[in-house]
Structure 1
Amino acid sequence: MSRLNYHHLYYFWSVARIGNLTQAAKELHLSQSALSTQIKQLEHTINIELFERKGRTLALTDMGKRVQMYANDIFTKGEELSSFIHKGVISQTQHLSIGVLNTLSRNFIEEFINPLMSNDEVRFSLTAGRMDGLLNGLAEHELDLVLTNKPIGLEHYDQLWQSQLVSRQPLAIVGPADKKIRGQFPAGYTDAQWVLPAKTSAIRDSFNALCARWQYQPKIKAEADDMAMLRLLARDSGALSVLPPVVVKDEIEQGLLVEYQRLPDAFEHFYAITAQRKFVPDILKSLLAKTC
């Protein structure tokens, strides 16, 4: 492959960042045709199609997105160097792209990102999705980390991924404040109705183990595989539920729900998944270090 022309790469990066060829040409003080030619020369040099036309707009190809991520690292550092040379300071603003499993507790997410909220030198974005899409985002360098309550399974295993346990929350039986059962499970729970996590969840496994131990058969009113939905069911149904109290923290503070009792030695685990990469943002290192 021919030596990379960084002028051409910068023109590509500008178009990808701005999202419009005409506007990018104005900012670069080039004609639209000249800019288009420069990008075509880059595509020819690296033998990769970077853009595809969708109607009147340009969209990055999958490989174009990967090239853009590398260009971001190159030219962001270059702009910091320029700032240091001309002003004697380097911009400290960092950006973190966080993917979150779409069934994850929003209260846990809020607690995790709390250090970022109070840091004026950090900007961040949150993207919710399914595990397959989030891991693709990591692989394509569109995301810096993924938050999940599920360890990486065999179907997703790849040496590229690095998984770190960042938190674990105790599980508890939670229900309406005016119906609190005082006895220890299963005493007093014979007629109780339940809204529970889906059968495939680790929380449900823990509850099933407790029920098996005491030969208790729960009367299940509803099941949900989404923590936000389970939170609503626990709040509005009048039934009992099993979940980490952090999920219904607001409802407990408002007196709508109370914690009946903790499940012995039972926890929900939360993981941060990252991809092996040469450049790791300092804020990401700091964030993960605080959660160890």
Structure 2
Amino acid sequence: MPLNYHHLRYFWAVAHDGNLTRTAERLNLSQSALSTQIKQLEDRLGHALFDRRGRQLHLTEAGRIALDHADAIFATGQELVATLQDSGRSRQALRVGAQATLSRNFQIGFLRPILSRPDVEVILRSGHPTELLEGLATLNFDLVLLNREPPDDGLAPFETHRLAEQPVSLVGTPARLNPDLPLATLLRDQPVILPTRDSTLRMAFDAQASRLGISPQVVAEVDDMAMMRLLAREDIGLALVPPIVVKDELASGRLVEARDHPAIVETFYAITLRRRFPNPVVQDLLAER
């Protein structure tokens, strides 16, 4: 039996509104009639599309997949009405959440294999690890990029994929940083730009400074690696960053790197959710690693 696109459009409207009553009023339908239309679509597809929790509607995994296809179907219809060229192709959405402090250069490097694919649309959001993992658990993300493993609390079936690791360096302008000086001397004599105290890098740095018996002069605490790079370029202090964050500045000589590295390593992880219907683009990305 062919798919009833009226049922699909009703589902599409409710999924975007997130509220059955509001959608019914907007479409000038009774709630019972709208519920019946969606139930018929669920029967046709063989899967529940919404998880009904009180008055709230939350998409199931099958519902998220159905919404992706509905978005593509109705976008194509809009293109047809607008008489656009018919050379475009349907695009598969990839929803990625990235920790706000994570290197932009690393994110681009990880996503590069699919950025030029005409069949993929990348939707990238940044945020705190807790909210990103909550979004992953509720299927608002297909994949989350972090520099720490998620807590193993058993509440969500997270899968952790270790992508890469690299040492963290002190970097600064050539006028401020003598690459040959020992780490302890640099930390005693120069102000430093550090990640915020809730980051794994900051905790590791504070522990190492304590072992060295040093209380560095912290000139800035920043939760964004791109901002740390800019502050280092402004020569307000030495920045504690992975070299990938400042690779262009190191290559040009605008910034230099201390040869005596802090004994700190940043590890990059891709976190996914164990799903019955995994996004094939995620599988393609992870296969590249």
Question: Normalised by the size of structure 2, how large is the TM-score?
Answer: 0.72
* Partners of 2:181 and 2:260 within 8 A in 1: no
State the partner residue of 1:178. 175
Number of the residue aligned with 2:270: 272
How far apart in 1 are the matches of 2:30 and 2:252? 59
Runs of 5+ in structure 1 lacking a partner? 25-31, 53-60, 80-90
- C-alpha contact (below 8 Å) 2:195/2:240 kept by paired residues: yes
- 1:197, 1:225 within 8 Å by CA — same for their partners in 2? yes
Distance in 1 separating the partners of 2:11 and 2:38 = 13
Query: Does residue 72 of the first structure (1) align with residue 67 of the second (2)?
Result: yes
Partner secondary structure for residue 186 of structure 1: helix
Counterpart code for 1:72: L
Q: Is the 8 A contact 2:10 2:38 kept in 1?
A: no
How many matched pairs? 260
1:217 lines up with 2:212 in the alignment: no
The change in CA–CA distance for 1:167 and 1:9 in structure 2 (over 3 A counts) is farther
Q: Does 1:164 align with 2:194?
A: no
Letter in 2 for 1:10: L
* Secondary structure of the corresponding residue to residue 34 of structure 2: helix
Contact 2:182-2:260 within 8 A present in 1 as well: no
Q: CA RMSD in A?
A: 3.9
Mapped to 2, the partners of 1:159 and 1:15 lie a distance apart of 28
Q: Which residue of 1 aligns with 2:189?
A: 191
Higher alpha-carbon deviation: 65-74 or 97-106: 65-74
Query: Which of 224, 227, 230 in structure 2 is aligned with 1:229?
Result: 227
Correspondence list, 1:43-58, <5 A: none
From 140, 144, 147, the equivalent of 1:146 is: 144
Shift of 1:264: 5.5
How far the C-alpha of 1:196 sits from its partner, in A, is 1.3
Give identity over the alignment, percent: 30
Q: Which residue of structure 2 lines up, in the alignment, with residue 252 of structure 1?
A: 250
Q: After TM superposition, give the deviation of residue 144 of structure 1 in Å.
A: 0.5
The code of the aligned residue for 1:176 comes to T
Shift of 1:16: 4.5
Distance 1:6 1:162 in 2: 36
Native 8 Å contact 1:102 1:130 kept in 2:
yes
Displacement after TM superposition at 1:248 (Å): 1.8
User: Which one of 21, 36, 40 corresponds to residue 35 of structure 2?
Assistant: 40
Trace 1:11-30 onto structure 2 (pairs within 5 A). 11-16=9-14
The C-alpha deviation readout for 1:217-271, integer Å capped at 9, x for no partner, is 3222222233233223222243112110111223323432111125265211111
What residue number does 2:279 align with?
A: 281
**Structure 1 SS opposite 2:168:** strand
Looking at structure 1, the residues matched to 34 and 62 of structure 2 have their Cα atoms a distance apart, in angstroms, of 13
How far, CA to CA, are the matches of 1:65 and 1:228 in structure 2?
36
Kindly provide the CA deviation profile for residues 80-100 of structure 1, in whole angstroms up to 9, marking residues without a partner as x. Answer: xxxxxxxxxxx8843211111
4+ runs deviating over 6 angstroms: 5-8, 34-37, 43-50, 73-79
Q: Is the 8 A contact 2:62 2:277 kept in 1?
A: no
